[in-house]
Chains A and B, each alone.
Chain A
Amino acid sequence: MSKILEVSHLSKTFRVGLLARPVVAVRDVSFSMEPGQVLGYLGPNGSGKTTSIKCILGLIQPSQGDIRLFGQSSNSAEARTRVGYMPEHPYFYDYLKPTEVLDYVGQLFGIDAQVRRKRIPELLERLGLGHAMDRTLRGFSKGMLQRVGIAQSLLNDPDLLIYDEPMSGLDPVGRKELRELLVELREEGRSIFITSHILSDIENICDSVVILNQGVAIAEGPLDTLLQRDKLQSSATIRLPSGEQRQAAVDALVALPAVTASTETEGAMMIRLPTDAVPQLSAKAAECGAHLVDLQPVRDTLEELFMRKAVTTASDSGDDS
């Protein structure tokens, strides 16, 4: 089956100021999406996420690179009919009612008037806006506007949803509801391209991620692989012996090849290592007069992955320079 979205060597440079100083927003980013995949496009503010989306949707022209949607040019009407997009902070005409916004969008998609009349109230009802259908958007809260944004993105029954920072500005309840909705949309078989700078929010939704930092993709691939979920990690608490034996025990335990991290506290130390190396640790501890007193499974998070990659990238570029 062909790719839903293919981005090859995308770069975008803006010219700013009177002297048209070049500012690189995105540099040589490549990735692709399979049907049914949920791709997290992550990174801090100003990392180039929205610029990439605008290139994908034809709102701005890439300086370099190629973008294909459903195997076609991203500017083709055919490809656009299969995409639902919600911008960051969705702004719609605030003098319109949600039904009127959706009707306008429906006309742009060439949806029959009869179908629009039936589907629009259904969709708004489903998204919890049934009570506000006859009110203009002027009085809508951020969460309600977000729902209108989602409703208009689903009107054409798209195969690919592109959501730019959908969690931004929502309260915890709104974020939870949106996460649940995204899971439902994924279960319907839709592909979702979602950006966020709040990594923990979408960690459980995505199959794959592309992590951007300063316009450069610093990590890309399936989340399980990136987070090494196949290699279970554990955090062990070791009670150390007192007196002269203490330092010798610390040195011996830290020297174990499987240990990935360690911290020492008063009378104890915490050691992080792959779970399959725990028996080796336990034996070594007993040998040194220490005791394994607690063992907790640990999982790398997206945030930790991002921080690690960002630091590595920064030190690599520092080495280069």
Chain B
Amino acid sequence: MKTKWQGIELKVHGPRASLGRVSAVMSNTLRETGRTRAFYGVLIVAMLLLFGSVILSDLALVNQKARLVQDFGLFTIPLVTILTGVLLGVVLLQKEIEKKTLYAILPKPIRRGEFLLGKYLGLCTLLLLEMLVLALCWFAVLALRGGEISAPIFSALLLSYVEVMLITAIATFFSSLSSPLLSGILTLGMFIIGRISYIIVDLMNASKGVFAEVAAMRWLGRGIMVVVPDLSAFNISDELLLGWPVTPEYLLHSIGYGLSYSAIFLVLGLLVFERRDLT
């Protein structure tokens, strides 16, 4: 029998070992999600849409063609990447539980937090690759229409990716406590409310409308402001349209805001996942 080895060394303690485990789960998740047919379906449709914007731009005024392609890309790329994140994020843990693959992994010396983080980072890496592919298509179309690929465009993409990371963290959190369908509905609900929460804030500040007049709604509005991240922080399309500068301070603040909220949702997800019985 040759299964008994002499002097095999198992390194399971310390930050380096922990990083190794996270990275193992991350690579496997990247490999797993990268084989999802739905992912390629969404990617191909998005690429076709971006290339299709060339045709759409013919309908625009002569000096507005590049503008249209730019706006179309700024709208399409984050939306498609976020939808992919939600689609894959809500089944992130559920799939492992349903397929029972988790039962062979978690009894190994890996913490549930490391597993969850690895899954999340693996998915985020895939979404980054998706965004890069779509951005390259977009740049090609933009160049074709004589548009300028300026620094603010890169800032817009960077902030969009932070938004993608945040929505994926929300999907991961919901995935740790409910079914994929419910997780999907809740995540998309958070996304939509997050996108329009600035309107609620404006209404409350302006002291008009139902959020200012009804006490219960005022409390609800305040609750939404605390629980749901304000996703308008990642949207700089107005700045691009009007040619306003995007300061490094604003960028850093928005990135910090997004990453902090992502961390909060991941920690909440971990707290739930840590106590969950894997029956």
Contacts and interface: CB of A to CB of B under 8 A. Distances in A.
Given A61-B277, A81-B12, A87-B104, A188 B31 contact: no
Which of B12, B101, B107 gathers most chain A CB within 10 Å?
A: B107
B219 interface: no
Contacts of B109: 77-78, 80-81, 108-110
Interface string A1-44: 00000000000001000000000000000000000000000000
A157 B4 contact: yes
Contacts of B279: 14, 54, 60
Chain A: interface residue count, which band?
35 or more
Interface in A85-135: 85-87, 89-93, 95-96, 104-105, 107-112, 115, 119, 122-123, 126
A90 B102 CA distance: 10
Contact of B108 (A105, A115, A122): A105
A127 to B, nearest CB: 8
A156 B110 CA distance: 14
B107 to A, nearest CB: 4
Nearest to A80: B109
B10 A81 contact: yes
Contact of A60 (B23, B28, B277): B277
A95 B2 contact: no
Contact of A107 (B4, B24, B99, B277): B24
A92 B275 contact: no
Contacts of B9: 110-112, 115
B205 interface: no
Contacts of A152: 104
Given A86-B104, A152-B104, 5 more contacts: A59-B277, A59-B278, A80-B12, A105-B108, A108-B108
Interface of A: 14, 54, 57-61, 77-78, 80-81, 83, 85-87, 89-93, 95-96, 104-105, 107-112, 115, 119, 122-123, 126, 149, 152, 154, 156-157, 162, 184-185, 187-188
